[in-house]
Amino acid sequence: MKPVIALVGRPNVGKSTLFNRLTKSRDAIVADFAGLTRDRHYGEGRQGQREFIVIDTGGFEPDCKSGIFQEMAKQTRQAVAEADVVMFVVDARLGLSAQDHDIANYLRASRKKVLLVANKAEGMQEAPQLAEFHELGIGEPLAVSAAHGQGMRSLLELALEDIPEPEEDDDLADGSAERPIRLAVAGRPNVGKSTLINTWLGEERLVAFDLPGTTRDAITVPFERQGQRYELIDTAGLRRKGKVFEAIEKFSVVKTLQAISDAHVVLLLVDATQGITEQDAHIAGYIHETGRAVVVAVNKWDAVDSYQREMLQRSIEHRLSFLKFAQVLHISAIKRQGLGPLWKALGDAWSSATRKMPTPVLTRLLSEAVAYQQPKRAGVVRPKLRYAHQGGQNPPIIVIHGNALEHVTDAYKRYLESRFREHFKLQGTPLRIEMKSGHNPFDDKN
């Protein structure tokens, strides 16, 4: 799973600036006054080949008992619980405060790996002012400047050094029944994720249970169907009460992001009675970004009338338009309706994601597509597409070689994608097309 880094500290020490620097984005709003960030904010970062998740939090006041600051403290505590590493951000220019001591006491009790980050320390790497932060008992203060990017590389190296790198899934592309297919069930709380998994498994079967404190681990359940082994990943906790499993609907964004990243196929479950919400669209967008094969299942379909069904269909077409390649099925987990076609759709998505596409066939399809419709000229230059080969699986990647391919438009790439999809009958998986232009020997002479 991707490691999780939480940014914690009192207001206006530069946590959101550091978040933007680590994620190479401008997703967190930054302004020069305290208390701007209130909810947890999630983003993705990369250090070399290592990927990680960053959580930005609001100003932390551990002992606050009322008002908005109490709610912000709850958000921060949840972020610390989910994190592998906590970056405790302090202001190197303003120095220590009583609030810093309170936060340090809380973090020591959490028993998490904590890095003390002295932000706004441009030009202060050897300054004696940093010595006072040793009072916190957290360790050596690391002088950085999030605004100027100073000290970021060494900070991330320290954060990730004790976290083992994920093992390479060498036979991911086999598609063989020998390796279990990791199937993540993702969606908002109360859409029926755990109900669906329990329906698949049967209530009498002992599966797993959530231990106290394991708040960041998704539940993985082994399962076999018609000779194919699966690992079902539930993003909501399961607990055992007697012989019946019930859902603890405690939603964690980190659990969902990690489960999607680790899965081979993702089942996006939505609630027919509530329609497609912004949160559904965010989860769907993350699935698309990670390139996972996906099936959309509309649960509780039996609980809505014909008008609601029509409106829901329009909402799916509008808000999930980027998942046009995914099959959309209507099910009722509690009544066991539509589960047969659902399994077929999941199998088709996995098969498409791991489909082998021979180079001669891809090149022939490319030639036929170009003969039918050539790419547009860019000035006096027309891109020349010569041959294609497969560059990866899950998601399938097609690499096209030629000349002046940087001028190929997105519309033409979509045209090529539709031709490849139609021939190989790809459904339920994104298809990536990469262009590689050949070297022009005359460039050196110029």
pLDDT of residue 59: 75
Domain boundary among 293, 324, 353: 353
Confidence of residue 298 (pLDDT cuts 50, 70, 90): very high
Q: Per-residue pLDDT averaged across 294-300, rounded?
A: 95
Q: Once rounded to an integer, what is the mean pLDDT over residues 4-20? A: 89
Average confidence score pLDDT of the chain:
81
42 in any annotated domain: yes
What's the predicted TM-score (pTM) here?
Answer: 0.68
- Looking at the fold, whether 183 and 328 belong to one and the same domain comes out as yes
Q: What is the pLDDT of residue 177?
A: 44
| Position 194 in a domain | yes
Same domain for 320 and 194: yes
Judgement on whether residues 177 and 110 belong to the same structural domain of the protein: no
User: 413: domain CATH number?
Assistant: 3.30.300.20
In a domain, 166, yes or no: no
Tell whether 183 and 266 lie within a shared domain.
yes
Of the listed ranges 172-181, 235-244, 256-265, 301-310, the least confidently predicted one is 235-244
Q: Is the pLDDT confidence value at 243 over 60?
A: no
| Mean pLDDT comparison of 18-27, 127-136, 140-149, 164-173, highest-scoring range | 140-149
Query: Averaged over 200-211, what is the pLDDT?
Result: 46
Domain of 154, in residue numbers: 4-160
Q: What percent of the chain has pLDDT over 90?
A: 41
144-167 b/e with 16+ CB inside 10 Å = b? Answer: bbbeeebbbeebbebbbeebeeee
Beta-strand (E) ranges in 48-84?
Answer: 50-56
Q: What is the tens place of the pLDDT at every residue in 21-57?
A: 998 876 544 434 334 343 467 788 888 888 888 888 8
Does 261 reside within a domain?
Answer: yes
Query: Are 110 and 44 found together in one domain?
Result: yes
In the predicted structure, residue 342 carries a pLDDT above the cut 60: yes
Same structural domain, 102 and 216: no
- DSSP type of residue 39: S
8 beta partners: 88
Q: What is the number of structural domains in the chain?
A: 3
Residues 82-100 as b or e (16 or more Cβ within 10 Å = b): bbbbbbbbbbbeeebeebb
Q: Is residue 135 part of a domain?
A: yes
Long-range contacts of 282-287 (CB under 8 A, 24+ apart): 283/186, 283/187, 283/188, 283/256, 284/320, 284/322, 284/323, 285/322, 286/256, 286/257, 286/260, 287/186, 287/260, 287/323
Last residue of a domain, one of 319, 337, 353: 353
pLDDT 10s digits, 358-381: 999 999 999 999 999 999 988 888
In 3-state terms the chain splits into helix, strand, coil percentages (rounded to 5) of 35, 25, 40
Residue scoring higher pLDDT (30 or 141): 141
How high is the pLDDT of residue 350?
95
Domain end: 97, 127, 160, which one? 160
Higher pLDDT, 177 or 1: 1
Higher pLDDT, residue 445 or 400: 400
- Which range is most confident: 11-15, 65-69, 432-436? 432-436
- 92 shares a domain with 217: no
> What are the tokens at 219?
């539940």
Mark whether 148 and 184 lie in a shared domain. no
Q: What is the pLDDT of residue 367?
A: 95
Segment of 139-148, 232-241, 421-430 carrying the highest mean pLDDT: 421-430
d(CA 99, CA 11): 10
CA 169 vs CA 81, 163, 172, 336: distances in Å: 28, 18, 5, 33
User: Which parts of 397-440 fold into alpha helices (H)?
Assistant: 410-424
Q: Quick check: 408 pLDDT over 80?
A: yes
Same domain, 346 and 363: no
* DSSP letter (8 states) at residue 188: S
Question: Which has the higher per-residue pLDDT, 111 or 357?
Answer: 357
Both 155 and 180 in one domain: the answer is: no
Q: pLDDT higher for 126 or 333?
A: 333
Q: Are residues 304 and 431 in the same domain?
A: no
Q: What is the mean pLDDT of residues 419-433?
A: 94
Asked if residue 357 has pLDDT above 90, the reply is: yes
Tell me: do 372 and 275 sit in the same domain.
no
Residue 167 counted as domain residue: no
